[in-house]
Structure 1
Amino acid sequence: MPIRTIIEPFRIKSVEPIRWTTRKEREELLKKASYNVFLLDAEDVLIDLLTDSGTGAMSTAQWAAVMQGDESYAGSPSFYRFRDSVQEIMGYKHVIPTHQGRAAERILFSVMCKKGDVVPNNTHFDTTRANVEFTGAEAVDLLREEGRHPEVIHPFKGNMDVEALEALIQRVGRARIPLVMLTVTNNSGGGQPVSMENARQVSAVCKKYGIPLYFDACRFAENSYFIKLREPGYAEKTPKEIAQEMFALGDGCTMSAKKDGMANIGGFLCTNDDIIAQQEKNLLILTEGYPTYGGLAGRDLEAIAVGIQEALHEDYLRYRITSTGYLGRKLTEAGVPIVQPPGGHAIYLDARTFLPHIPLNQFPGVALTCELYLEGGIRAVEIGGLMFGKAAKMDLVRLAIPRRVYTQSHIDYVIEVLLEVWKRREDVDGMELLYEAPFLRHFTARLCPTAEVAAAAR
């Protein structure tokens, strides 16, 4: 049935109040937070689009499953329900729970990588890159050319450049590449999907050289639905069938269950390799917990077991993709530059084009996130020069939509605020960096508007 009016495929059973603030209050709060929206208190944010990670609303079925949580230290039945649910979709032999996705990344790369290694990806996300580099390995992005241009419309802009992958393997040698990773959907690349054909080609190259292929599977359900909508031959398949076909092309995955696991905490690491799995479990015990709980309560395992299946429901996916697309379409109609076409979990503003008067070394993405908060209490996140430094190919501002949290009226409010900022975009000032941490600096960085820095210097 064609959707004319977008409605949420759920009823609201419980509500949480959100607090209005004045412009003057927000000016003071942002200055106190050193112009880094990560440092704002959540209660001072009206619409929080900082991330879709762990910020979703759980369903009645998930809350019912929580009550089944068995908190036994070892061999909990909650673990086996969790494992079976994951294996039904991913199909991998070993399922290792972790407290969240970056813990899975740390364990995977700590076991498989060493100094001098090279890890190719379509685009590494911030924690992925940091965990690769922490081992002394090099994280290399191999995004196809169309994915590097926000304005270009292509159905699968998250695809890896397969020719570049093979050229990299031949240049550095197979021995220096412990694994290849494919991120679905490609978060840092604008939430863009990867096609089944591209995954198949990447898998073929990996098999040719005997290199394991791992998926960063955080948003696998959304990627599967985009394949259903856009790739020939998949219209009649269910999102679950598509996901199963894609995971069969790989040797394992990392997963933040805070995304398409529909849970507030948790993640896991999967592999088919018995030796690697044992090494990963040994490290898990050292830093996360016993392999049947991995840093999670039994109730969290139960919530993930249900949520990862719910993420594949077509009614939910249709609504989510349609609602996000609505936001993107309204902004595009008004001339606001975004990454095209709209992604599944977020809209990405092209900050370089939005604020062309701000030099790249003055962080146009950070400036735009600050202006969105000042104008309407909206918190977004910069994905660009502050997050990735010199490795940034674009300066984007991500508006990540939490799952099953905000209604269409909230989305309309976001549009209204964005259009106000767009009207007076020439008045937005750049930012100077005052403090940075050695890793993942965007979380704790302190900044100041360039005009204030200049005034203080006079």
Structure 2
Amino acid sequence: MELPFAESYKIKMVEPIYRSTREQREEWIKEANYNLFNLKSEQVYIDLLTDSGTGAMSDKQWAALMTGDESYAGSSSYYNLKNAIRNIFGFEYFLPTHQGRAAENVLFSVLVKEGNVVPGNSHFDTTKGHIEFRKAKAIDCTVDEAFDTESLHPFKGNIDLVKLESVYSSYNREQIPMVIVTLTCNTSGGQPVSMQNLRDVTALSQKYGVKVVFDSARFAENAWFIKEREDDYRNSSIKDIVAEMFSFADAMTMSSKKDGIVNIGGFMAMKTEELYKQASVFNIMYEGFNTYGGMAGRDMNALSVGLDEVTNEHYLKNRIQQVAYLGNRLIEWGIPVQKPIGGHAVFIDAKHFLSHVPKEEYIAQTLAIELYLEAGVRGVEVGTLLADRDPETKENRYPKLEMLRLAIPRRTYTNNHMDVVAVALKNIFDRREKIVRGYKIKSEAPIMRHFSVELEHV
């Protein structure tokens, strides 16, 4: 008999969580103006809002934390991280920042100008926000299969080369500062990009003289799917796959709070000294001196270890299988999800789950609130609220996918917790016909509104 799957770690420390009553949750979510971001952490039983900075660090990371060098300039922790980035990604130049959106802010301050267009595969919220804040335009070139949740295409994060070349040929070269490839593609459901697609995107971009930038928050999960789904890489190590992936990039941004398995931090890295010097000006202005940026020495030490651990195949197998465990339980009950299951989260197809709720009443947000009321589980809407308003018309943008994302923190919850989430969704699914109205906006910010929006029930 084959031995069953078990986690590749044992638990050394625990944190208590509180299981509230439905009456309490009804009061709390109303006080939060039906915005799950406004809830206090102690009001949440199982928190799947994000996998960003919410994972559990290892004993080796905690040990590295204690030996951090907090020198303002030239700390040993900076050089530990520099060596890790060089060894894993192959980039000689890098700048630390306090998190991923800060790296975007610094890099885009160099590259993105008013009137520019930035193609990519379903840019995530902060990426699109930084582009549109600079009065530029993000153009989605994701393959069409990504928007069919039932399709089993193995690489739904891929960029459609025909769409990309259409952008390249429709605009002047000076208007296109870069193409952004998000690994894995969060907005399309944590879906991977194939090595062949990375190779093809780079070849096409070089033909038109366009820089290739990777949004690398979940690079290791992407490498795992390449190993599992591309025949040429089945016998390759994760570290070798990562090295080849990043050989196709001119630069990268990284939210280290995901596949760095740390609670804070980020960086950008690049091939050329010229781009490094240009970005350094903004990094010093916005983040800090180049050898610490927005990070403490102890956090750079922990990240150095985390980048090594995340490329360990035993860790990745555990990580991917837990996400698949939750997804497969939902599929067994007929609950509509993005297939195949992605790397960091399960994405519920809210349009098909709550088919009676009008799109103007924020379907995925409605489902997210129902899940919180049912079991104290906090997910996040990846739909119309996140898509924001068109900068020119000020009208809502209705994306092709209206999703509830259940992002699973790394090394944090057990499969018993996943069972609670699955049963809660099954209970809602069984009474879905009774959910016919959603929410309307009371107030919203002019950009990235989903973080602070205030809603009321229709």
Please say if 1:406 is aligned against 2:413. yes
- 1:262–1:307: 8 Å Cα contact kept in structure 2? yes
Per the TM alignment, residue 392 of structure 1 is displaced from its structure 2 partner at its CA by: 2.0
Do the aligned partners of 2:98 and 2:287 also contact (CA within 8 Å) in 1?
Answer: yes
Q: CA deviation at 1:119?
A: 0.5
Matches of 2:172 and 2:237 in 1, distance apart? 39
Q: Which amino acid aligns with 1:182?
A: V
2:267 maps to which residue?
268
> What is the SS of the residue equivalent to 2:455?
strand
| Residue 441 (structure 2) pairs with residue 433 (structure 1) | yes
State the distance in 1 between where 2:203 and 2:146 align. 22
1:237-248 paired onto structure 2 within 5 Å: 237-248=236-247
Are the counterparts in 2 of residues 6 and 323 from structure 1 also a CA contact under 8 Å? no
**Alpha-carbon deviations, 1:326-351, whole Å to 9, x = none?**
11111111000000000010000000
- Aligned residue in 2 for 1:444: 452
Q: Does 1:351 align with 2:359?
A: no
The one of 422, 429, 432 equivalent to 1:422 is 429
Q: Which runs of 5+ in 2 are unaligned?
A: 389-396
Counterpart for residue 94 of structure 1: 93
Per-residue CA shift, 1:65-93, capped at 9, x if unaligned?
01110000000000000110011111112
8 Å Cα contact 1:123/1:143 also seen in 2: yes
| Cα displacement (A) at 1:444 | 0.5
Distance 1:215 1:308 in 2: 16
2: CA distance, partners of 1:20 / 1:410: 12
**Structure 2 counterpart of 1:362:** 361
| Structure 1 Cα separation of the partners of residues 399 and 422 of structure 2 | 27
Q: State the distance in 2 between where 1:254 and 1:287 align.
A: 16
TM-fit CA distance, 1:56 = 0.3
Q: Deviations over 1:77-116 (max 9, x none)?
A: 0000011001111111211100000000011111101001
- Pairing 1:106–2:105 present: yes
Question: Which segment drifts farther, 221-230 or 278-287?
Answer: 278-287
| Structure-1 residue corresponding to 2:393 | none
Q: Deviations over 1:361-411 (max 9, x none)?
A: 100100000000000000000000000030622110000000000011111
Following superposition, which runs of at least 4 residues in structure 1 exceed 4 angstroms of deviation?
none
CA displacement, residues 258-317 of structure 1 (integer Å, 9 cap, x when unaligned): 000010000000111222211211111111100000011100000100001100111111
Aligned positions of 1:148-297 closer than 5 A = 148-297=147-296
Supply the AA of the counterpart residue of 1:109.
F
Aligned to 1:396, which of 378, 396, 403? 403
* d(CA) in 2 for partners of 1:439, 1:36: 16
Residues 125-154 of structure 1, C-alpha deviations (whole Å, 9 max, x = no match)? 000000111111111110001011112111
Change in CA separation of 1:353 and 1:391 when aligned onto 2, cut-off 3 Å = closer
1:415 maps to amino acid: A
Distance 1:144 1:391 in 2: 18
> Does structure 2 conserve the Cα–Cα contact (< 8 Å) formed by 1:8 and 1:407?
no
Deviation at 1:182, TM superposition (A): 0.4
Aligned residue in 2 for 1:131 = 130
Q: Distance in 2 between matches of 1:24 and 1:391?
A: 33
The alpha carbon displacement at 1:174 in A equals 1.6
Measure how far apart 1:427 and its partner are: 2.2
Cα offset for 1:24?
A: 0.2
1:63 equivalenced with 2:62 (yes/no): yes
Looking at structure 2, the residues matched to 211 and 289 of structure 1 have their Cα atoms a distance apart, in angstroms, of: 29
Provide the secondary structure at the position in 2 that maps to 1:9: coil
In structure 1, stretches of 5+ residues that fail to align are 451-458
SS of residue matched to 1:286: helix
The answer for the alignment partner of 1:456 in structure 2 is: none
Query: Secondary structure at the residue paired with 1:269?
Result: strand
Q: CA deviation at 1:197?
A: 0.4
Superimposed CA distance per residue, residues 401-436 of structure 1 (whole angstroms, 9 cap, x where no aligned partner): 000000111111111111111111122231111111
Q: Following TM superposition, by how much is the alpha carbon of 1:173 offset from its aligned partner in structure 2, in angstroms?
A: 2.2
Question: Is residue 2:390 matched to residue 1:382?
Answer: no
RMSD of aligned alpha carbons: 1.1
Structure 1 distance, partners of 2:81, 2:428, is: 45
- Matched to 1:423, the amino acid is D
Q: Match of 1:453?
A: none
Match in the other structure for 2:371: 372
SS in 2 for 1:233: helix
Give the alignment of 1:301-340 within 5 angstroms.
301-340=300-339
Quick one: which amino acid aligns to residue 86 of structure 1? I
Determine the C-alpha separation between the residues in 2 that align with 1:149 and 1:219: 22
Quick one: percent identity of the two aligned structures? 49
The aligned residue for residue 120 of structure 2 is: 121
Deviations 1:185-236 (A, max 9, x none): 0000100000000000000011111111010000000000000000111010
CA distance in 2, matches of 1:330, 1:94: 44
| Partner-residue secondary structure (3-state), 2:30 | helix
Is 1:40 matched up with 2:14?
A: no
Aligned to 2:13: 14
Determine the C-alpha separation between the residues in 2 that align with 1:381 and 1:69.
34
